[in-house]
Amino acid sequence: MGKTLVVGAGGVSHAAVHKMAMNSDIFTEITLASRTKAKCDAIAASVKERTGVTIKTAALDAMDVAATVALIKETGAEILVNLALPYQDLKLMDACLEAGCHYLDTANYEPEDVAKFEYHWQWAYQDKFKAAGLTAILGSGFDPGVTSVFAKWLRKHKLATIRQIDVLDANGGSNEQAFATNFNPEINLREVLAEARHWENGAWQVTPAMTHKVEFDFPGIGPKNMYLMYHEELESLSTHFPEIERARFWMTFGDAYITHAKVLENVGMTRIDPVVHNGVEIIPIQFLKTLLPDPGTLAEETKGKACIGDIVTGEAKDGSGEKTYYIYNICDHEECFREVGSQAVSYTTGVPAMIGAAQVLKGNWREPGVWNMEQLDPDDFMDMLNKHGLPWQVHELDGPVTF
């Protein structure tokens, strides 16, 4: 159906590219490009071994717009799937506009020197993408991504309004490491240590990071402590469903993770500003990333399940009054490893990136402009989740959440 250029060759890319190769009727030709070509070649070798599909590889600095434009033209890509880091989003969007290529990513743009999670930089591209007749899909991972599609599916099929939404992200996986993050350590720690914000009654409510804790009994996992934190889909959901009174995001962390993260923060190791060490400028969090395990390498030893979903309350479409639904997926780390050689966090991000790109290539999501996932029709995406490794369930609860 279409030629695809994937940028970035980390954990998420590994899962996404394998799943694209398994759907070669949609992804007819795949090129994988990243800063370190050897990482692309390693993924290509694994894809060949597992699926028999040959993918092309290339070296690319995604900050170099001219080089990306040249590669898009050389490969004839219809869509660029950005699985590099949030710092590269705007440069890759610029390249897509110049080369005439659709765009998709999994995380909103962040400037390297400020940990701000805001969509306005990318929303500002709306007119340019419209004028060029091109589509940009923002945040096609699990959260953001599937969690927003879940909300849209409930809004389309079950609820006339959304009064409140809680996104619940539990990783019940364990490995042999004293401290490790489950995706890029630099991006993960910037997110986790940011102050917690949630949307309530028309304003952002701010609380210090990791201070609001609730125990929740997760399906497939059991009881776990989850913490209130800010996550980028809160901004887009509260913008695109303006009736929302309260939107919150929760993520589980073990006590050991919290202790390590706090100590690292207290001693300055998570600073994102440059410091001079022995006459050389270094950014402490980037040095820390070098020391920490690469999450992709932990796939084989990670066991347990992840469960991510939304609890949504609103007025029923059929006029039967207020209803609350819990919609979620349970994903098993070891099954992901057996299928594509990834752990569940890479898998739950990479599969929706594949499915989002498939929506564009199939022509389902082709309206020119810049779109968040909850603005698009959810039905084929939801079907593909069931068929491609992320089956979901929806249950009606007795009433709204009480935490």
Contact, 182 vs 188, CB < 8 A?
Answer: yes
- Within 331-360, which residues bind ligand NDP (CB under 6 A)? 345, 349
Q: Which of 19-27, 32-40, 154-162, 247-255 is the region at the interface with ligand NDP (rule: CB under 6 A)?
A: 32-40
Q: Please tell me the count of residues contacting ligand NDP according to CB under 6 A.
A: 35
Any idea what DSSP says for residue 304?
S
For position 145 contacting ligand NDP by CB under 6 A, the verdict is yes
- Looking at the Cβ atoms of 162 and 189, the one nearer to ligand NDP is 189
5, 32, 83, 221: which one contacts ligand NDP (CB under 6 A)?
A: 83
Q: Is the four-CA dihedral 232, 234, 236, 237 of positive or negative sign? A: positive
Name the 3-class secondary structure at 279.
Answer: coil
9, 299, 312, 344: which one contacts ligand NDP (CB under 6 A)?
A: 9
CA distance 403 to 401: 6
Cα atoms in the Cβ-side hemisphere of radius 13 Å centred on 52: 2
Which strands, in side-by-side order, build the sheet including 79-82? Answer: 56-59, 27-34, 2-7, 79-82, 102-105, 135-138, 369-372
Name the 3-class secondary structure at 87.
Answer: helix
Q: Which of 60-68, 213-221, 323-331, 360-368 is the region at the interface with ligand NDP (rule: CB under 6 A)?
A: 60-68
Q: How far is the CB of 201 from ligand NDP (least distance, A)?
A: 27
- Sequence-distant (6+) residues with CB within 8 A of 317 are 157, 158, 159, 160
Q: How far is the CB of 183 from ligand NDP (least distance, A)?
A: 3
Distances 252 to 148, 180, 300, 367 between C-alpha atoms, Å: 19, 14, 22, 36
- Sequence-distant (6+) residues with CB within 8 A of 252 are 169, 170, 171, 172, 218, 224, 225, 226, 227
- Within 120-139, which residues bind ligand NDP (CB under 6 A)? 139
For position 110 contacting ligand NDP by CB under 6 A, the verdict is no
Q: Which of 10-18, 129-137, 248-256, 259-267 is the region at the interface with ligand NDP (rule: CB under 6 A)?
A: 10-18
Point out the residue whose Cβ comes nearest to ligand NDP.
10
For position 10 contacting ligand NDP by CB under 6 A, the verdict is yes
Each residue 293-312 as x (binds ligand NDP by CB under 6 A) or -, in order, gives --xx----------------
CA distance 230 to 44: 35
For position 63 contacting ligand NDP by CB under 6 A, the verdict is yes
Q: How far is the CB of 181 from ligand NDP (least distance, A)?
A: 9
CA distance 376 to 148: 10
Residue 123: exposure state from Cβ atoms within 10 A (0-12, 13-18, ≥19): middle
Q: How far is the CB of 400 from ligand NDP (least distance, A)?
A: 25
The residue ranges of DSSP E strands in 60-138, in sequence order, are: 79-82, 102-105, 135-138
3, 4, 5, 8: which one contacts ligand NDP (CB under 6 A)?
A: 8
Q: Which of 1-9, 119-127, 172-180, 277-285 is the region at the interface with ligand NDP (rule: CB under 6 A)?
A: 1-9
For position 283 contacting ligand NDP by CB under 6 A, the verdict is no
Q: Which of 23-31, 141-149, 248-256, 275-283 is the region at the interface with ligand NDP (rule: CB under 6 A)?
A: 141-149
For position 35 contacting ligand NDP by CB under 6 A, the verdict is yes
Q: How far is the CB of 355 from ligand NDP (least distance, A)?
A: 13
Cα 305 to chain centroid, rounded: 18
For position 389 contacting ligand NDP by CB under 6 A, the verdict is no
- Looking at the Cβ atoms of 159 and 337, the one nearer to ligand NDP is 337
For position 11 contacting ligand NDP by CB under 6 A, the verdict is yes
Q: What tokens were used for 258?
A: 């919290």
For position 152 contacting ligand NDP by CB under 6 A, the verdict is no
Binding residues (CB under 6 A) for ligand NDP: these are 7-13, 34-36, 39, 60-63, 83-86, 88, 106-107, 139, 141-145, 183-184, 187, 295-296, 345, 349
